[in-house]
Structure 1
């Protein structure tokens, strides 16, 4: 299949998949009955050098016994370089230290299946045939798409089966090779630490068996049971930590190909403004400046009107770009304000019912209309990603080929957009995926790739590194959507929730993302808008949860925990309101609605028990939330200091299925809590006259070390399939803190960020 045909087929399947997710329809009947694409062997052999022997599409053995493992996921601090290597090391029976990671080629077997399946808008309690059929269909489509992407807390979840199978198959081939060499049976052999042992004492290293093993059929792989695990489940130190401590780690911004030039952008001050002219000679007269370019015509759907300055150092490029005289045409959003956004949201909720994501019973029935009513309205602002590594990409266009050096979560999409901008086939684009200094969803976008390639096209074959300033990163992000939610609940005579009616409004990330990155129109509902609202675990007989999609001139994108990031705040704060209205303890109130959700109960009870009693002048706030397959409960210990909210301690309990590496899980809970707490206490992007009002960490604050609370993590033991870890710890922290503040002040904070004034 040619690269251009592959891209066209991907667009077709994505369009069909979008319809399938929204309407759970069949993609193509004739195609659907075919068996799912296998994920063990690539379309071409795993590229190896120096006499290494590939045993399948995922791994190869070198002469010194080192295992080369193709890594299809990006390391952005979440620990996948360790956790995924552990899966292979476990099944292959080799020391973790013997595994060397190499970048996976652009092959469909490395596509992220779990991330797309998780996009289906089914309630977690729904186990019907329709859900099973939809999951099977979307998983099959995802295998055909083969989109290599890191996101949705899906890396371990997705790799759990294929990466273990890769290790188990290779191990079976090596054992078979030893059996052939010794005229032995499989039952007489065992493996350990990269060797095959015979019961009579003979032994052979994997490396010595590799060539013979490579031609053998492994048959159906037999995976270990949890009782047989030697490595999985252990708190293993992260493999990427030493290089990050000693400075050897190479992030996207560290790329240094020979002869590299630097580029900086001159971006519009207001949303939607278009560059009409600029005075290039002024910039060209400055030291080191090589070129001044208008990028607007070259970027296609990734278009943001801007100019670029190329120089021999980035500082010189930045200085010249900042002083470049420009003229701009005002766009339709030149008067946009945050107040206008929320006013539009309110009008939409007044006028439209929205798409109903979940309904049961009758929220409007006569039997509930006479009951006591409690209403509330909550809101959340736009948020920037604010990763420590600024947006960047390095590109070279030479001899009809494109080479990229990028810290990206979506290398497959980056390759496609680079090919489109450069006018070459996708097969003529190569990419080196470097470490990410934070992703949080921002590096699912490829606008910086399109810009870097457009610049490199005009630099006579020289590689060019594009770096955004921190201010540009803040003022021209793809923001977490702002949202507005309304709740109407009815309480019976015992204070129990008799009905729950929740309607919310926000922009659709998925609609914008498909348009930006695949040129596809957004259509139908978007699960990310209502996730965390429609899938609540509480046992309420009468429910209706709906969402209205608002057209947005503000660019929105995936942000750590996506819709859960604000919907958990809405939902868990309102549950607390109802407990207070009923005159009941907030923990007991939740427990009474979880009698058939034993896993949720166990998580909630574990967090509350570990938290104990709050010290004098402090209060505990509780929140429980399920996202990305994992259940998290948090208890935040809060006080007020000089009129400010201070969080001292957070107890976080999580059930994420089988814990592959407890050490990484604890780190991710700590990271998620601090990330979510930064947003809860200070994160806010506001617009005035079409401009973003924030620009850097002084007015878009993130938590400082002195503000960071102690975080204690409890991992609930489980043998279930591993679920998400990188994001589920973020959603509960804002409502836990807000609920504690209510205990301290009697004031219910219904807007983020949380402010007492």
Structure 2
């Protein structure tokens, strides 16, 4: 969706841009100030300003950068945001950065969703227009504050010149500029036009943290009112004139193809309009969803299952095991990190320990199922969707429609559960392929069963950890062999160098506990028929389970308390030690618990944040109940503490579901799970008491969307051991416990 600003500002030629020139102020639309800023990693156009005049001019010499701050004559500040809101709070925290440095009330900031454009809106950490990886605040932290500070100094300077008073005698507050000695005041909007004509300072002074007015304070979510009163629009809420509804059935066998379909019965159902055939799916188009579903059920479809028709989950796990054991391989794997001599130290040690851990395929299972509304016309293609990757959606549509980028319009919406699933565009491409065959707009909605059984899943990992120990039971050599699919190789192949997927070994390459004689390897083993992708964290979510379970086992072997054992080995990481001690203290570590109850803990550094958790569980005959989780977080500078707490709480609930129950399994080529009855999401009555404690400091912000999920599974598994003496090395915990 094009913003009003983009349609009215001319594009400028692309040139190199010096770092100190990344902020440009220009005369804006309607006499306001338009402040553009380039996110640091991405290069773009620049503009030079000539001699300035004191009279207002309507012409402007802007450039089109990554994002814009627009100050309208009425004082409203509009921020074009390159991220999407999917419940993580970025549409509140991001404007807080700008409002802080501009000295305006948060209520005066209006947000516009950026259109699809990697050149202008690429995330500085990820390199493209992506919402994911817990990067929203980390990437926006400095450039957005600098943009706000630049806007403020230009507005302040304009007022001081108008009043002919020294700049240092002027102050700002709440979108107003004041001169104390004369008592004069003026609003930002009144001087916005004049501010746009001022020369650009070479650098700006950001606020000292001790003077923060908004950053670090709890702010009410700006998107909450519209979500409560129903005005918020998610992808599934898209309404377009003359739109039809379609639902689809893809081959139930992984990788299967459509052979034939008899649609005579479907076409006789009232409301069914058309049946569309694709290579691997059939869509029924109707006036409404119920007719489409009835029509789909009436189809007589024949599929060619292909080579995966007899595939079983045990076959996939067997392949992973063979790969991990180096059977049929010339080399043990790609070395992610090697320090000292692990093999020599391990072989010569009299105290050695090895363990193998497994985590299953997982579905993101967002509440909003896959959906996409598309209208393909000869000269344009409009797509209404909630996506984490608008430029990838645009690229897919370009390939399918043969239209240029400027003719593909992505109208992005709120996302009702992304968790990495909407980092892929398979469902969008399918909707475009269907819409190509129709003369009207169509909203394609996957049923929950279609969503669950044709997803892009978190990989299955089969990891082996080994350690040589000294006489006190502390590791003197450490090995971690990661075996699993490579998400990066499919999604961003340029990030994979010499066969090493950096995400697969995240958290394993630099373990908190191992510094000497360290060997970390990665073996890529792709599962037949299954496409793997992002979850709420991928590499970290599995590596933390492996590492924190393994270190707990080493503590038990050493006959030491798991907390004391960890603390003794992380003196070199004081921030990790601090969150671990805080979580343990708040949880009452060491206190007595009733029979069949236990405490377990974990600590990690992931996505730029340090997180520790203590889980209290009760183990019954056929279930595990998580009664309490205490979480300590050091994510550096906290922008909105309410958001941090909420993200930790949500991540913990999400992680508990995966730790206790969830797995995607395959039988005869078909995914067995189909809905929330057999792929469980934690119920409200099962949710534990969750306490989140924040450590405040002035370090750069870390991510908070995913770390909570990664930390909770090992804490629960270690608590189960404390309660029962049974060590579980394969997730999910409940089925594994029942088998022991």
Query: What's the TM-score once normalised by structure 2's chain length?
Result: 0.89
Q: Distance in 1 between matches of 2:174 and 2:441?
A: 43
1:231 is matched with 214
Structure-2 residue corresponding to 1:13: none
Cα drift, residue 222 of structure 1: 2.1
For 2:464, the equivalent position in structure 1 comes to 486
Alignment partner, residue 74 of structure 1: 84
Partner of 2:552: 576
Q: Does 1:392 align with 2:371?
A: yes
List per-residue Cα deviations over 1:194-249 (Å, max 9, x = no partner). Answer: 11111321111011111111222331222112122111000112111222222221
> Aligned to 1:186, which of 167, 172, 176?
167
**2:35 is equivalent to residue 55 of structure 1:** yes
Q: Which moved more, 1:158-167 or 1:357-366?
A: 357-366
1:97 to partner: Cα distance: 0.7
Mapped contact 1:614–1:637 kept (Cα < 8 A): no
Selected match of 1:659 from 638, 643, 646 = 638
Per-residue deviation at 1:283? 2.5
Which stretch of the first structure deviates more once superposed, 492-501 or 574-583? 492-501
Q: Does 1:89 align with 2:99?
A: yes
Corresponding residue of 2:452? 474
Name the residue aligned to 1:336. 311
1:194-593 to 2 correspondences below 5 Å: 194-200=175-181, 201-219=183-201, 220-296=203-279, 305-351=280-326, 352-365=331-344, 369-460=348-439, 462-514=440-492, 524-553=499-528, 554-593=530-569
Say if 1:272 and 1:334, in contact at 8 Å, map to a contact too: no
Correspondences of 1:704-743 after superposition (within 5 Å): 704-743=683-722
My pick for the range that moved more, 380-389 or 506-515, is: 506-515
* 1:53 to partner: Cα distance: 4.6
Following the alignment from structure 1 to structure 2, what is the Cα–Cα distance between the partners of residues 205 and 483?
58
CA offset at residue 502 of structure 1?
1.4
CA shift, 1:521, in A, is 10
**Displacement of 1:110:** 2.1
Contact 2:374 2:381 in 1 (8 A): yes
Superposition deviation, residue 399 in structure 1: 4.2
Deviation at 1:39, TM superposition (A): 5.3
Q: Residues 671-721 of structure 1, C-alpha deviation per residue, up to 9 Å, x if partnerless?
A: 010000000001100001110000000000010001100111111111011
SS of 1:732 mapped into structure 2:
helix
C-alpha contact 1:368 1:498 (8 A) present in aligned 2: no
Q: Which residue of 2 aligns with 1:134?
A: none
CA gap 1:743/1:480 in 2 versus in 1, 3 angstroms: same
Aligned length: 682
Deviation at 1:522, TM superposition (A): 9.5
The alpha-carbon deviation at position 34 of structure 1 amounts to 8.0
Counting only pairs closer than 5 Å after superposition, residues 2-81 of structure 1 correspond to structure 2 as 35=18, 40=23, 53-56=33-36, 57-81=67-91
Contact 1:153–1:628 (Cα < 8 Å) also in 2: yes
Q: Could you tell me how far 1:624 is from its partner in structure 2?
A: 0.7
Cα displacement (A) at 1:650? 0.5
Query: Alpha-carbon deviation of 1:447?
Result: 1.2
Q: Retained in 2: the 8 A contact 1:334–1:690?
A: yes
Deviation by residue 1:261-310 (Cα, 9 ceiling, x = unmatched)? 111112111001111222233322222222211233xxxxxxxx112121
- C-alpha spacing 1:473/1:614, structure 2 compared with 1 (3 Å): farther
Q: Displacement, 1:36? A: 6.0
Cα pair 1:165 1:223 within 8 Å, conserved? yes
Deviation at 1:412, TM superposition (A): 1.5
Specify the alignment match of 2:145 in structure 1: 164
List gaps (5 residues or longer) in structure 2: 1-13, 37-66
Shift of 1:507: 0.4
The aligned residue for residue 130 of structure 1 is none
CA contact (8 A) 1:110 1:148 kept: yes
Aligned-partner SS, 2:306: coil
* Shift of residue 161, structure 1, vs aligned partner: 1.5
**Please, which moves more after superposition, 233-242 or 650-659?**
233-242
Q: Mark the CA change 1:32 to 1:494 in structure 2 (over 3 Å): closer, same or farther.
A: farther
For 1:636 and 1:266, the matched residues in 2 are separated by 41
Task: Tell me the distance in 1 between the aligned counterparts of 2:349 and 2:497.
Answer: 41
CA distance in 1, matches of 2:307, 2:503: 27
Instruction: Tell whether the 8 Å contact from 1:266 to 1:322 is kept in structure 2 after alignment.
Output: no
Partner of 1:600 in structure 2?
576
Q: TM-score, normalised by structure 1?
A: 0.87
CA drift of 1:368 comes to: 5.7
Hey, which bits of structure 1, 4+ residues long, moved more than 6 A? Answer: 31-34, 45-48, 520-523
CA-to-partner distance for each residue in 1:309-338, whole Å, 9 max, x for gaps?
211112211221232222222222222111
Counterparts of 1:401 and 1:567, CA distance in 2:
45
Distance in 2 (CA, whole Å) between partners of 1:253 and 1:211 is: 40
1:228 and 1:734 mapped to 2: Cα distance?
Answer: 39
* Alpha-carbon distance between aligned partners in 1 of 2:573 and 2:345, rounded to the nearest angstrom: 29
1:348–1:505 Cα contact (<8 Å) kept? yes
Contact 2:32 / 2:196 at 8 angstroms: preserved in 1? Answer: no
CA distance in 1, matches of 2:18, 2:311: 51
Please state how far the C-alpha of 1:449 moved relative to its aligned partner. Answer: 1.4
Contact 2:31 2:192 in 1 (8 A): no
2:27–2:193 CA contact under 8 A, matched in 1: no
Distance in 2 between the 1:40 and 1:684 partners? 48
Q: Gaps spanning 5+ residues in structure 1: where?
A: 1-30, 117-141, 297-304
Q: Deviations over 1:41-61 (max 9, x none)?
A: 69xx9996x776523342112
- C-alpha distance in structure 1 between counterparts of 2:575 and 2:667, whole Å: 46
Per the alignment, do residues 380 and 110 of structure 1 end up closer, same or farther by CA in structure 2, a change over 3 Å counting?
Answer: same
In 2: Cα distance, 1:41 partner to 1:446 partner: 34
